[in-house]
Amino acid sequence: MLISAVVLLVAMGAIRLSARTGLPSLLIYLGIGVAIGQDGFGLAFDDAELTQVLGYAALVVILAEGGLGTKWRDIRPAVPAAAALATVGVGVSVAVVACAAHFMIGLEWQTALIMGAVVSSTDAAAVFSVLRRVPLPQRLTGTLEAESGFNDAPVVILVVAFSEIGHSSPVWYVLVGEILLQLAIGLVIGLLVGKLGAYALPRVALPASGLYPIAVLSLCVLAYAGGASAQGSGFLAVYVAALLLGNAKLPHRPAVRGFADGLAWLAQIGLFVLLGLLVTPHDLADDIGPALVIGLALTLVARPLSVVLSLLPFRPPWQEQALLSWAGLRGAVPIVLATIPMVTGVRGSERIFNIIFVLVVVFTLVQGPTLPWLARTLRLGDTGDPQDVDIESAPLERLRGHLMSVAIPEGSRMHGVEITELRLPPGAAVTLVVRDGTSFVPLPTTMLKRGDELLVVATDAVQDAVERRLLAVGRGGKLAGWLGTGGSTAAPR
């Protein structure tokens, strides 16, 4: 417990360092694991099977947080492109990297195919953490986030299939059929669990607000376990379920997202430290050259080619294709997947793990910090879209109403709007405003400002209309609904 507490505190301090320097935090966590490992303080750890189990659990939490924090309206236009990158793009990347590993490094075909499959998955933790600090257009952010949520599933299937070569010889069309079947099962399970949770949680008045985040995360884990038990893709199931739950009208949504965000940080820290413990630094010297060769083939050939071929039907501008090619970030997922051949006893699996470890460290160090610069160079900065207000709703069961907490962020167009200009429907009222730590009862002429928090009381009958109206004003300002601004929500008559 002492070691764990010290590691967590050091890791949280490292987050500040990461934010100031632009250095990806995952590298710092890996460094912590290496520092306390065999070549550091001497903590011996070589259990690949335990690492794989804990790694899968951490990835479930990371994918759940990613789905809960992703807005469906942002990624909906990008889903077809993301699906193409997660399927066709993965296939192209596997083929190119496998050929490079076989002909340039001299790896056997089985090892080369495993290598190609392992590095073909973009890492959800890296993508979610880096892209949310980079001001990109919503369509690009949505494409990359959706791709990172979708592509774990087919890659895991490929790595397992290639690791079993010798025990069984998969036929390519049978393998493709298995991938499609597992994806379909995972999608159905995720939709069922997500819909069930979105329907049930708002109708169940739990005795404490802290139970709602636990219930939501339990549903996400249920989706993964249900999908895996049904011989489907548990990773796709958990991401789809979390995406549905994160975009549903759940009670205490900000608290749910905050709880999931904290668990995801804990999962990332624990996962990367564990992976750092598993590696033996003095064994890496011979694999630095092969890692650089495979990394260059992946970054400069496989990823751009997979982007171009996958997005041919969508014809995006070349600037967007260039950014998507460079933003194929790798992180924990390839290293965790590299433990699969170690557990199954594939010959040369230790070398696969070492090469992947070096590749992830070097190319994350290169790609992560340079991504904001590339976005500016390609003139793909943020479009300045307004930020949605955060609305938290707590059911008042006995009063047949809801108490809503509304936070006005910096980018909201609710700034400068008077209370009366909100034009809330009858049955709803702003009862309290919290500004700069001071609470007061507003007048109809009170002007709202960025950083304000509002308490809005609404009856059950008008709750949905109130949320739609508040979101519309946040996007379109005081004229929302009059001149077609702020979405499709019109002002109540």
| pLDDT tens by residue, 345-357 | 888 888 888 898 8
SS (H, E, C) the chain: CHHHHHHHHHHHHHHHHHHHHCCCHHHHHHHHHHHCCCCCCCCCCCCHHHHHHHHHHHHHHHHHHHHHCCCHHHHHHHHHHHHHHHHHHHHHHHHHHHHHHHHHHCCCHHHHHHHHHHCCCCCHHHHHHHHCCCCCCHHHHHHHHHHHHHCHHHHHHHHHHHHCECCECCCHHHHHHHHHHHHHHHHHHHHHHHHHHHHHHHHCCCCCCCHHHHHHHHHHHHHHHHHHHCCCCHHHHHHHHHHHHHCCCCCCHHHHHHHHHHHHHHHHHHHHHHHHHHCCHHHCHHHHHHHHHHHHHHHHHHHHHHHHHHCCCCCCCHHHHHHHHHCCCCCHHHHHHCHHHHHHCCCCHHHHHHHHHHHHHHHHHHHHHHHHHHHHHCCCCCCCCCCCCEEEEEEECCCCEEEEEEECCCCCCCCCCEHHHHCCCCCEEEEEEEECCEEECCCCCCECCCCCEEEEEEEHHHHHHHHHHHHHHHHHHHHCCCCCCCCCCCCCC
Task: Kindly tell me if the per-residue pLDDT of 295 is higher than 70.
Answer: yes
Q: Which CATH class is domain 2-377?
A: mainly alpha
Looking at residues 456-468, what average pLDDT do you find? 87
pLDDT band (50, 70, 90) for residue 492: very low
Instruction: Report the pLDDT averaged over residues 442-468.
Output: 89
Residue 317: is its pLDDT beyond 50?
Answer: yes
Residue range 9-20: mean pLDDT, rounded? 73
Q: Residue 306 pLDDT > 90, yes or no?
A: yes
- Average pLDDT for residues 419-443, to the nearest whole number? 90
- What's the CA gap between 144 and 150, in Å, rounded? 10
Distance CA 122, CA 105 (A): 23
pLDDT per position as a tens digit, 16-54: 766 665 566 777 788 888 888 777 777 777 788 888 888
Kindly report the number of other CB atoms within 10 A of residue 430's CB atom: 21
pLDDT at 490 over 70: no
Q: Write down the pLDDT at residue 330.
A: 80
Q: Which sequence spans correspond to the domains of the chain? A: 2-377, 390-479
487, pLDDT greater than 50: no
Which range has highest mean pLDDT (172-181, 264-273, 375-384, 433-442)? Answer: 433-442
What is the reported pLDDT for 486?
Answer: 46
Whether the full predicted model's pTM is greater than 0.85, yes or no, is: no
Which residues are within 8 A (CB) of 89 and not within 5 positions of it... i.e. 6 or more apart?
120, 147, 151, 306, 307, 309, 310
Give the pLDDT of residue 384: 55
- Residue 134 pLDDT: 67
Percent above pLDDT 70 for the chain: 88
Q: Who wins on pLDDT, 74 or 195?
A: 195
- Kindly report, residue by residue over 159-179, the tens digit of the pLDDT: 888 888 766 666 767 777 888
pLDDT at 255 over 60: yes
274 vs 396, which has greater pLDDT? 274
**Residue 456 and residue 466: Cα distance in Å, rounded?**
9
What is the predicted pLDDT for the residue at 491? 39
pLDDT in tens, 197-238: 998 888 877 777 788 899 999 999 999 999 999 988 888 899
The fold of the 390-479 domain, in CATH, is Alpha-Beta Plaits (3.30.70)
Q: For tokens 């430290």, name the residue.
A: 273
Output the CA–CA distances (angstroms, integers) from residue 356 to 69, 352, 362, in the order listed.
29, 6, 10
Q: How many CB atoms lie within 10 A of CB 391?
A: 19
Long-range contacts of 158-161 (CB under 8 A, 24+ apart): 158/90, 158/94, 158/117, 158/120, 159/114, 159/117, 159/118, 159/337, 159/340, 159/341, 160/340
Whole-number pLDDT of residue 195:
93
Q: Which residues contact 104 (CB under 8 A, 6 or more apart)?
A: 293, 297
- How far is C-alpha 50 from the chain's CA centre? 24
Q: Per-residue pLDDT for 321 more than 80?
A: yes
Mean pLDDT (whole number) for 353-379: 84
